[in-house]
Structure 1
Amino acid sequence: MSITATLQPLILLIISSLILMTGHGLSGILLPVRLATDNISLPVSGFILSMYSFGFLLGATVAKRILKQIGQVRTFAMCGSLTATAILLMGLRDDMFIWALMRGLMGFCIACACVTLDSWFGSVSTEENRGRILGINQVVILSAITLGQFALLIAPPTESTLFVLCGILFSLSITPLVFVSHYEPSIEQTPHLPLRQLFALSPLGVVTGFLCGMLYSSMVNLLPLYASSEHITGLRLSLFMGAAMVGGIVLQFPIGYLSDRFERRKVILGCCLLLSLTTIALPVTVTTGQFGAMLICSAFTMGIIACLYPLSISETFDQAQKGQLLSVLSGLLGIYAAGAMIAPYTATVAMQHQGEVAVFGFMLAIELLLIGFTLYRMRVAPPIAVEAQETFVMHTPNMIYEELDPRTAYRETSPDFEHAMSKFEKLAAEHPNNAIAFVRAISAAHPDWAAMLAEKAAQFPDIDTVLLFRALTMLNSELAVDIASRLAQGTPEQAEALVDWLLDKEPENALTLLANIAFIAQEQQAKVVDALAQSSPEKIQAFSQEYVDSMTENLASLRAPDREEVNIEHCVTGLLDSVTAAAPEQMKQVAAIVDEGVGDWMTEQNESETKKE
């Protein structure tokens, strides 16, 4: 994808995200302040504020279905208009039942808008830059929310002016996207991962995500109520909440750095211990009138809470297989939203009986619970080597980023690629050979697509695998091993046809290609060894060496949880059994090759796993 084709829609998407989240930031502080000003009872206020997370959870669940039915442009336009309608109705009516419904509608629309933007960002990003785009977008979002909170200075919250301003911002957020290409990338539904299975993967990750939702929702929704009770209003209130948002941005960098260099559970524990101290200190600085210290405590408290969500994702990713990562993201978002839904109402019940300062006691109890559970998990479960941990990636709480997280499997969704695959599918159904010629032409223009094209083409049983392999490797010979490996994942008949051709024609790197195919398609192992025993028995040992090298290289490239799913003993036994049946006189030499190659690799792995920070 050209730089212009990436930058133009990217800038427009960022502008739209900036406007939308500025309105979101203003509404986030306006509603609690208005509830406090109108002397609405604390439990009713907590219930209304909780409805946002309920709507958000519902929206995150159904957003992709809506996208598939009506597309991105209409989905985002619907979200912008409905969110504007909701906030305007709240400004016109003081009915708390209507406020609760409209607050839930806002959560629903913000979730759908986030999914839409995520898929849109994904369609204009590449595998190399999507991590940077994710980081830039999150900084933009948190900055916009911070900016929106300062809009509270424009007019008193008792008037309708700020509600109208929110409605204008939500409506304006649609405008930049009108100028984005109306290309609609294909939307894939994220596979569902049951809660029990997610908890089994990482109990600490799930509990951290849930409790983070409770803490974050308490800070965002109830801190303005507490501030109003302490007569913190106007600019001081905007600075107070703005400092919290700034902390949510800034602290992700040092905590992410520590998370990648120390055992993750220790980082979570350290964050919780520090968080409990700042939670105690924050109300003290408020009551003593130390405004500067109050801003620092607010920034540290919110900053650490905001870091717990990406820490919970990374902790769970450490235990999950590559194919489960999207499901983990989706599941943790739901768990986080459930915690965020429970907290405001629960905390306001305590605040009604103990005073507004009870919100900090509520938060401290949650933090102590997380400290205790972290210590328990550190005692009962062995640590993961730092080298085997997933990298920390900044994630804004209560936002949806599936397409952009660089740790998940990349799916090319650019307009050119989607158009090429659509044309290929039609040709593959009607004229398979013409489809291969088309793929060859596409790979000539886009060499980086060659392996992905091979993987997609392998899904069509009528495609001539040998002809496709030759067409792709003629122009991209350096990718021959990757292309052969992708094709071997097709039907057994396709893998067998490629093996037959390699054995017959014996291209320059035939043994390397055969070894990779035999590792991926284990049923081809005996066929290769038997054919070599009949035609070139002297090559059996060389093939065995290539097979062991391929196996160890493939295993080394896998994430630790994915590596555990590979049955190394089965792979080795299959090779030895094949050699025993076809060339027993070479069994001793092959066994020595296997023992040396696998033994050295296992030794390196054991040494790596025993390393501690």
Structure 2
Amino acid sequence: MIRHFLPVFALLLGSSFLLFAGGINGLILPVRGSAEGFSAFSLGLLGTGWAIGYMAGCVLTPRLVANVGHVRAFGAMAAIAAVSMLGSAIILTPWAWIALRGVCGFCFAGAAMIVESWLSDQAAPDQRGRIFGVYTMVNLGAVTAGQMTLTLGDTSGFLFFAVGAIFYCLALVPTALSSSSNPAPLVAARLDMKALWRNSPVAVFAVFWVGVSNSAFGTLAPVYAERTGLVLAAIAFFTSLPILAGALAQIPVGILSDRMDRRKVLVGIALAALIADALFITLAPEGRIPNFVLAAILGGSIFAMYPVIVAHANDHAAPGTSIQISGGLLLLYGAGGIIGPLMAGWAMTAFADRALFMVTAGAHVLVIVYTLWRISRREAVDDADKTAFQAAPGGRSSTPQTAALGASDAEVQAEADTAANL
């Protein structure tokens, strides 16, 4: 078993460095920005900037890699991501941070795609699923570790910006030393709205609003936690716990969605998320335990929605199109990610910190209502025609290449054959 992972160990290590730095970067900015007196609206724009940069990275990276090669493109992106993080420590203004966060999002998406391309190229056909599972777990652990690292020092200084930049640079090493000279070409993301809508209206509608909800919470949860009075260690745990809960929830959710109409499963977990939203709004919980419990319920719900939506869309996908459909849905998720932090940041500034959950609740209500309506209009897919549910990282850390890494060799080849015939 271990020998199968030796060829990809260095790449998994590089990915863990990248996600560790991303965990630090994603938490230090809202925590430090709140301490500097930045408004919730400007901190929400950090998430908007990240989403714009991330989407651009998913779209443009394949062309860049085709021009300059994997190693050079990855080196440039890791270096620029490190520079953008150091720049945030030097220029303490919201508008500079928003622009730098967008640059970092672009570089982060591109770097992740290149690592995933290398992993996909080196994975043996019979080990692809296991390697994808290990890759997902490594990334989850790295993000969580990066966030929890902030509890070990003072966030008011330069330290954590420097540590994050160091790990962005360390992510360079495995690809620079890789013996793989010709990794597979990267998957290009294309947004064909008509094709996506014909394939599954529920997936198109739901993935956008889940992007709104998840990005709003993912960006501004640290701001909410800080203004609720939680200390730094509790803030880090408050932001990490939903991710862990979401990862664990994908196991029972995946089993359930393979056995019944995935749309009903989506409605169920959206309803659970809505209940958590309502409790945050009505109870205004104070202290660690009530906030942790509600955050776990909310995270276990919202971070399990994305893979259910992708699996439902792939159930209807024509042969050889599943990877492109997953890439298109990712771009729609990213479009929601642009709007979500903007809406939530404005609401928290104009009303109260709990307005964050009014935005997420609105998104979840729309998902529930529309999905129930579509259930009444279209029959469920037969169990025999379903694709297997596959746990996946949250949309904010997925790329079009993630879908290719998680696919079987037959699916990858079918996708390539379809693209060649276009």
- Name the TM-score class by shorter chain: over 0.9
User: Which residue identity lines up with residue 381 of structure 1 in the other structure?
Assistant: R
> 279, 285, 300: which is aligned to 2:297?
300
Deviations 1:507-557 (A, max 9, x none): xxxxxxxxxxxxxxxxxxxxxxxxxxxxxxxxxxxxxxxxxxxxxxxxxxx
Deviations 1:352-404 (A, max 9, x none): 12111100111111111110001110111122122222111111122121321
- In structure 2, the residue matched to 1:359 is 356
1:44 CA drift (Å):
1.9
1:298 CA drift (Å):
1.2
- In structure 1, the residue matched to 2:365 is 368
User: Which residue identity lines up with residue 205 of structure 2 in the other structure?
Assistant: V
- In structure 1, the residue matched to 2:324 is 327
1:321 CA drift (Å):
0.7
SS, match of residue 403 in structure 2: coil
- In structure 1, the residue matched to 2:404 is 403
Q: 1:296 to 1:409 in 2, by over 3 A?
A: farther
- Structure 2 residue 269 is the aligned partner of structure 1 residue 268: no
1:282 CA drift (Å):
3.9
- Structure 1 distance, partners of 2:83, 2:191, is 35
User: Which residue identity lines up with residue 305 of structure 1 in the other structure?
Assistant: I
1:101 CA drift (Å):
1.4
Higher mean C-alpha deviation, range 386-395 or range 351-360:
386-395
CA contact (8 A) 2:44 2:216 kept: no
User: Which residue identity lines up with residue 340 of structure 1 in the other structure?
Assistant: G
- Structure 2 distance, partners of 1:153, 1:25, is 13
1:270 CA drift (Å):
0.7
- In structure 1, the residue matched to 2:123 is 125
- In structure 1, the residue matched to 2:8 is 10
Q: 1:276 to 1:189 in 2, by over 3 A?
A: closer
How large is the Cα RMSD of the aligned pairs?
Answer: 2.2
SS, match of residue 381 in structure 2: coil
SS, match of residue 323 in structure 1: coil
1:287 CA drift (Å):
2.4
The aligned runs of 1:57-456 (5 Å cut-off) are 57-187=55-185, 189-190=187-188, 192=190, 194-282=192-280, 287-289=285-287, 291-396=288-393, 397-398=395-396, 399-400=398-399, 401-406=402-407, 409-411=410-412
When the two structures are superposed, what TM-score results if normalisation uses the length of structure 1?
0.65
- Structure 1 distance, partners of 2:180, 2:235, is 41
1:248 CA drift (Å):
2.1
Deviations 1:247-286 (A, max 9, x none): 1211111111111111111111111111111222346676
- Structure 1 distance, partners of 2:73, 2:281, is 42
- In structure 2, the residue matched to 1:609 is none
- Structure 1 distance, partners of 2:44, 2:277, is 20
1:128 CA drift (Å):
2.0
User: Which residue identity lines up with residue 164 of structure 1 in the other structure?
Assistant: A
- Structure 2 distance, partners of 1:180, 1:9, is 9
CA contact (8 A) 2:210 2:333 kept: yes
Consecutive unaligned residues of structure 2, counting only runs of 5 or more, are: none
SS, match of residue 251 in structure 1: helix
Q: 1:250 to 1:284 in 2, by over 3 A?
A: farther
The aligned runs of 1:29-68 (5 Å cut-off) are 29-68=27-66
User: Which residue identity lines up with residue 160 of structure 1 in the other structure?
Assistant: F
- Structure 1 distance, partners of 2:12, 2:155, is 28
SS, match of residue 210 in structure 1: helix
CA contact (8 A) 2:238 2:292 kept: yes
- Structure 1 distance, partners of 2:235, 2:107, is 27
User: Which residue identity lines up with residue 407 of structure 2 in the other structure?
Assistant: P
Q: 1:286 to 1:233 in 2, by over 3 A?
A: farther
When the two structures are superposed, what TM-score results if normalisation uses the length of structure 2?
0.93
CA contact (8 A) 2:78 2:171 kept: yes
SS, match of residue 263 in structure 2: helix
Q: 1:333 to 1:127 in 2, by over 3 A?
A: same
- Structure 1 distance, partners of 2:103, 2:222, is 22
- Structure 2 distance, partners of 1:101, 1:346, is 18
Q: 1:239 to 1:342 in 2, by over 3 A?
A: same
Larger radius of gyration: 1
Q: Considering Cα pairs closer than 8 Å and 6+ residues apart, tell me whether 1 or 2 has the greater RCO.
A: 2
CA contact (8 A) 2:284 2:354 kept: no
- Structure 1 distance, partners of 2:210, 2:141, is 21
Deviations 1:12-43 (A, max 9, x none): 01111111101101111111111211111222
CA contact (8 A) 1:279 1:363 kept: yes
- In structure 2, the residue matched to 1:561 is none
